[in-house]
């Protein structure tokens, strides 16, 4: 897994500033006020910092932007990175400031002068989250960024605040690594092996193979993978950090390691991007890793259905009728609408076995959600207003875009089948909504449920606030906060 930037926290010692090599970061508010560390830098550079602050470039900068004072005379450092940040900065502004530092510092070690800052831990989080690169399959990988050392007045307190955030970053990095990985490397078996390895963190991990799934009646899930030589499985990860016997939150992820569309073959152009069709399962894995690392005081179970959707002589055909674990029969209209066939069995199994307090499923489910929401927001569907509001609040606080969309009988009517109980597509109109309606057929009335369609946000072509181009890790922060807000008890 891609390593998270090592971070240490020390008490402020301005006497070390002159001899510090690498890069030094200072923070200046819009009024240009200097704290003790910045004053020391300014003195060492004979007023160069003041001259930069008084210049037009700093005046035009926005909160969170970083400017570079290169080759500071009188110091051992290669550069001083000057961050424009209000003293009452928001969480989002602080994280942006950290991300700006990550982009300008390259591979050098960095000393962050953070005396008096209110949101030091959030700045560190932003820097670490942006300090990511997927180099696993390059013959000459780029050098990883160096260590980050934070000087502050209360290092123990700031370090304690940063620890759970660094756990979230590590979970997000796992999600990104999984989502970025090519399908010949991240096979269904390799994916399961990575999840089993998290037993070392205290998670309970169980792998249900094809024989076990057949005995359980998970025929819709098995129908998706039956055209592939890679075995299908369901991996169950349990974190029991809460009250004994308290019902868990269930997280369910779609893990299609590659999606050709099956017999309903996708066009060749862009099919290479379908390595990210396991993004929902990647988020579930990342959240479970974060919860274990920070020893969350909650009961959470993560279940992922791992399959590969391939055309072959044994593949499911359009027109086939499959019986789900619930007993609902499904007419397969399009084998490229396979994610809902994976999820419905796993969702039903999660409810039958764990009787969860609530359930969230995540999937790169529909192209239609990208048409509707672009790459700014995930689509949110829910049967419970209070549960949905809690998630939307968590996503907003974490800066992860999410937008709620409707459910209703009119949409449900679109997936009625002439020859089975339900069909797996409802046509072109409202494609994301009818996919959610399909999944709702497998949600028990007493289960608060959210469906997250993350097709537009799981992997993107250009950089985001806290990630380079590629896999974003969207959802790890928001779901971690949802767990903290709703399911953790003091």
Just list the catalytic residues. Answer: 266, 340
DSSP 262-307: TTSPPPSTTGGGGGGTTHHHHHHHHHHHHHHHTT-SSEEEEEEEEE
Lateral strand order in the sheet of 402-404: 204-208, 233-240, 299-309, 249-259, 358-363, 449-453, 378-382, 402-404
- Could you give the angle at the alpha carbon of 319 between the alpha carbons of 314 and 324, nearest 5°? 80
Distance, CA of 129 to CA of 481 (rounded, Å): 16
Backbone angles phi, psi at 51, to 5 degrees: -65, -35
Residue 319: which region, alpha, beta or left (left: phi > 0; alpha: psi -120 to 50)? left
- CA distances for 323 relative to 163, 216, 222, 361, angstroms: 46, 12, 11, 21
Structure tokens at 209: 């193979």
DSSP 354-394: H--SEEEEEE---THHHHHHTTT-EEEEES-HHHHHHHHHH
Compute and round to an integer the Cα radius of gyration of the chain: 24
Distance, CA of 430 to CA of 366 (rounded, Å): 10
Pairing of strands 233-240, 299-309: antiparallel
b/e map 444-470, b = 16+ CB within 10 Å: eeebbbbbbbbbbbbbbeeebbbbbeb
Closest CA to 480 of 202, 183, 170, 260: 170
- CA distances for 41 relative to 25, 77, 182, angstroms: 10, 11, 46
Pairing of strands 249-259, 358-363: parallel
3-class DSSP assignment, residue 237:
strand
Distance, CA of 309 to CA of 262 (rounded, Å): 5
3-state secondary structure 82-140: EEECCCCCCHHHHHHHHHHHHHHHCCCCEEEECCCCCCHHHHHHHHHHHCCCCCCCCCC
Pairing of strands 110-113, 148-152: parallel
Specify burial of residue 283 (Cβ count, 10 A radius: 0-12, 13-18, 19+).
buried
Counting DSSP H helices and E strands in the chain, the numbers are 16, 19
């Amino acid at each position: 897994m891609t390593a998270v930037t090592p971070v240490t926290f020390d008490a402020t010692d301005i006497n070390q500033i002159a001899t510090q090599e690498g890069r030094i970061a200072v923070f200046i508010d819009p009024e240009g006020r200097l704290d003790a560390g910045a004053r020391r830098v300014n003195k060492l550079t004979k007023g160069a910092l003041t001259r930069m602050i008084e210049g037009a470039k700093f005046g035009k900068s926005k909160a969170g932007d970083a400017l570079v004072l290169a080759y500071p005379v009188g110091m051992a450092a290669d550069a001083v990175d000057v961050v424009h940040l209000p003293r009452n900065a928001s969480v989002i502004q602080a994280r942006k400031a950290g991300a700006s530092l990550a982009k300008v510092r390259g591979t050098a070690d960095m000393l962050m002068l953070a005396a008096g800052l209110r949101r030091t831990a959030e700045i560190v989080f932003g820097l670490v989250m942006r300090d990511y690169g997927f180099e696993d399959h390059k013959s000459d990988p780029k050098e990883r960024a160096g260590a980050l050392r934070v000087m502050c007045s209360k290092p123990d307190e700031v370090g304690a605040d940063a620890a759970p955030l660094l756990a979230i970053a590590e979970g997000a990095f796992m999600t990104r690594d999984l989502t970025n990985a090519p399908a010949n490397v991240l096979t269904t078996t390799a994916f399961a092996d990575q999840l089993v390895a998290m037993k070392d963190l205290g998670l309970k991990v169980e792998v249900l193979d094809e024989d076990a799934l057949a005995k359980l009646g998970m025929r819709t899930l098995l129908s998706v993978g039956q055209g592939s030589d890679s075995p299908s499985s369901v991996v169950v990860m349990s974190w029991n950090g809460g009250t004994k016997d308290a019902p868990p939150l269930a997280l369910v992820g779609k893990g299609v390691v590659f999606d050709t569309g099956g017999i309903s073959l996708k066009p060749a152009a862009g099919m290479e991007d379908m390595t990210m069709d396991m993004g929902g399962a990647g988020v579930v894995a990342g959240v479970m890793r974060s919860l274990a690392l920070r020893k969350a005081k909650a009961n959470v179970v993560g279940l992922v259905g791992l399959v590969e959707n391939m055309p072959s002589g044994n593949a499911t055909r359009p027109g086939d009728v499959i019986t789900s674990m619930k007993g609902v029969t499904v007419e397969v209209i399009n084998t490229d609408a396979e994610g809902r066939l994976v999820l419905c069995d796993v969702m039903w199994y999660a409810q039958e076995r764990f009787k969860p307090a609530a359930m969230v499923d995540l999937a790169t489910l529909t192209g239609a959600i990208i048409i509707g929401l672009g790459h700014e927001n995930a689509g949110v569907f829910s049967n419970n207003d209070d549960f949905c509001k809690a998630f939307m609040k968590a996503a907003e606080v974490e800066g992860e875009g999410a937008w709620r969309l409707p459910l209703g009988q009119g949409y449900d009517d679109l997936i009625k089948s002439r020859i089975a109980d339900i069909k797996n597509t409802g046509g072109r109109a409202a494609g994301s909504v009818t996919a959610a309606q399909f999944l709702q057929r497998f949600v028990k009335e007493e289960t608060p449920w959210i469906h997250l369609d993350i097709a537009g946000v799981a992997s993107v072509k250009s950089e985001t606030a806290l990630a380079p181009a590629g896999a974003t890790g969207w959802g790890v922060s928001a779901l971690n906060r949802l767990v903290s807000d709703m399911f953790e008890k003091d």
